[in-house]
Amino acid sequence: MAQSTETSADSSAFLQRRVGWFGLVAGGLDFAFLIFRLVGARSASDIMHPSMLTHAGSCVCLAAIWIALRGATRSVAWIRAVETTGLVLASALLVRMGMYLSLEADPPRIVVMALAVVHLARAIYVPSSARRTALISAMTGVVIVVMVFEVNQRVNLEAFQAFAPGVAGLTPVRFAGYLAADAGAWWALFGSLAAAASRVIYGLRKQVGKIRELGQYHIEAELGSGAMGIVYRARHALLRRETAVKLLPPKRAGEAAIQRFEREVKLTARLKHPNTVTVYDYGRTPDGMFYYAMELLDGATLEQIVSSTGPFPAGRVVRVLEQAAGALAEAHELGLIHRDIKPANIMLCNQGGQMDVVKVLDFGLVKDLKGDGPHVTQENSITGTPLYMSPEAIRSPASVDARSDLYGLGAVAYYLLVGDHVFRGGSLVEVCSKHLHEIPQAPSARSAHPLPEALDRLVLDCLEKQPERRPQSARAFLESLARVNADPWDRSQAEAWWREHGSIARASGVPATGTGKTIQVDLELGRSP
């Protein structure tokens, strides 16, 4: 019930803003038209003419909509009442204005055009069904037709023939009926356009509204997007727990995409390590959108942090690698290969009072050595991020195993120590070529600070071209890491860093799109799928 109340309040606030903007914009346009007429006035009597006064009255009615809806959020009934009253009064006054204009000015056309601008502005700004817009337009149209008929059946046709010879022979009633029908036809055209605009805009609004409710989760804001979906900040309806919800939009929901999306959540849910992002729930909306809910993280990716604050001290790098390697060790022992280890897929968080908690993210490209078929994992494709891709992932994608993830982890360690990627190049092909053939420069040669020799050697071991020359498992990596003699990164240092840089680190709770962009290139087709 609390959620429904919040949702209703959000809808009312949105409607109030939109109706208020309509009053401001339509009133401004109407006032500009009035100024144009005043500039053309030739005397004080023209300025005080009843057509000017009724025109000014319509401007006041529209502006009153904006004024009445400023301030605290009102109920939907109040907002609609203000909108309808202001619009009806403004329309009536514009119609009345036309009744005071001379026949030479062609008042029906002026009135229809002025009201068309007002009603089209309403269709654009105000969330409204096509039916409601059509009803309001029809009511206004009746007033227009009646006004034109009443005014013109009293016209002096003999005098009017001086500039409209075509009226000769018509009776006043037939003449008035002709003009009323003409005005009605023009208004029907504009009214139809207004209704069509409302239908399109209102339909889009309803479609967005559907996305705001996913099962038990209320969507609050978009956090980011990637190859496998869009991530939103959400809140559970009953638990009131903030959550990150990953959604597969309908336009991406082909059979293969759905299989990979379902596979991602199922594989991630198998991982229980504290340094792997936790999956809470999985579901499908009535209209076919797939989603899953995971923990919302308070922190930022390694890519975001290094780009903002620079390289890490060696002790902190060791602490990050311990946690990331622990998460990978669990995955590898279950037969899962991440295939996209990079700084943008590892977050550093403040969780439960613990600083520098690592979370390994985005298992959308995981390879399951025990259960995947080629139709799911796309073995005939290069998959990963070129700046962090192992040589075998480039040369022979089907052969990647746990040691490919360790190559990526070594490249992440390099980035943390140096503040730059292992290799750079002007193109994807150049970067991949360097991973295949170029020997990387030692991190110690590029770091501004001395590095422990054992850490320098371990990073280079992970970046060996041949998998058999790297650590053979995440457990073996952890054993080598334990022998690194680096100044420890303790709790007091972590707390001091978070006090100084917490505002930078607490980003969106999801990885940002950066220089390390994930690709998937189909080798059989020679293109990105």
Would you place residue 253 in the very low, low, confident or very high pLDDT band (cuts 50, 70, 90)?
low
The residue assigned the tokens 């503040």 is 419
Would you place residue 376 in the very low, low, confident or very high pLDDT band (cuts 50, 70, 90)?
very low
pLDDT of residue 26 exceeding 50: yes
pLDDT at position 5 is: 40
pLDDT at position 254 is: 62
Would you place residue 65 in the very low, low, confident or very high pLDDT band (cuts 50, 70, 90)?
very high
Q: What does the pLDDT average to over 227-256?
A: 73
pLDDT of residue 95 exceeding 90: no
In 290-426 the beta strands, taken as DSSP E runs, fall at 290-295, 299-301, 336-337, 346-351, 354-360, 367-368, 381-384
Question: Tens digits of per-residue pLDDT, 97-116?
Answer: 877 877 667 777 788 888 88
**Strands 290-295 vs 336-337: parallel, antiparallel or unpaired:** unpaired
For residue 209, which phi and psi values (nearest 5 degrees)? -60, -35
Pick 213-295's CATH classification: 3.30.200.20, 3.30.930.10, 1.20.1090.10, 3.90.1300.10: 3.30.200.20
Higher pLDDT, 383 or 26: 26
Q: Which two tokens stand for residue 10?
A: 């959000």
**pTM score:** 0.59
Q: What does the pLDDT average to over 124-146?
A: 83
CA–CA gap between residue 270 and residue 264 (Å, rounded): 10
pLDDT at position 400 is: 86
Q: Does domain 299-522 have CATH number 3.40.109.10?
A: no
Question: Tens digits of per-residue pLDDT, 340-353?
Answer: 899 988 999 888 77
pLDDT at position 168 is: 55
97 C-beta neighbours (distance < 10 Å), count: 25
pLDDT of residue 509 exceeding 60: no
How far, in whole angstroms, is CA 319 from its chain's centroid? Answer: 35
pLDDT at position 288 is: 65
pLDDT of residue 53 exceeding 70: yes
Question: Tens digits of per-residue pLDDT, 305-348?
Answer: 998 899 999 999 999 999 999 999 999 998 888 888 999 889 99
DSSP characters for 106-166?
A: -HHHHHHHHHHHHHHHHHHHS---HHHHHHHHHHHHHHHHHHHHHHHTTS-HHHHTTT-GG
Q: What does the pLDDT average to over 70-79?
A: 87
CA–CA gap between residue 266 and residue 200 (Å, rounded): 38
* SS3 sequence of 7-42: HHHHHHHHHHHHHHHHHHHHHHHHHHHHHHHHHCCC
pLDDT of residue 358 exceeding 60: yes
Of 433, 367, 429, 435, the residue nearest 398 (C-alpha): 367
pLDDT at position 415 is: 96
Q: Which residue numbers are catalytic?
A: 340
Sequence spans of domains, the chain: 2-211, 213-295, 299-522
CATH topology of 213-295 equal to that of 299-522? no
pLDDT at position 446 is: 93
Which of 172-186, 361-375, 489-503 is predicted with the least confidence, judged by mean pLDDT?
A: 361-375
pLDDT at position 306 is: 92
- SS3 for 477? helix
* SS3 sequence of 412-429: HHHHHHHCCCCCCCCCHH
**Arithmetic mean of pLDDT over the chain:** 79
Would you place residue 211 in the very low, low, confident or very high pLDDT band (cuts 50, 70, 90)?
low
Q: What does the pLDDT average to over 260-288?
A: 77
pLDDT at position 230 is: 76
CA–CA gap between residue 102 and residue 164 (Å, rounded): 14
CA–CA gap between residue 9 and residue 2 (Å, rounded): 11
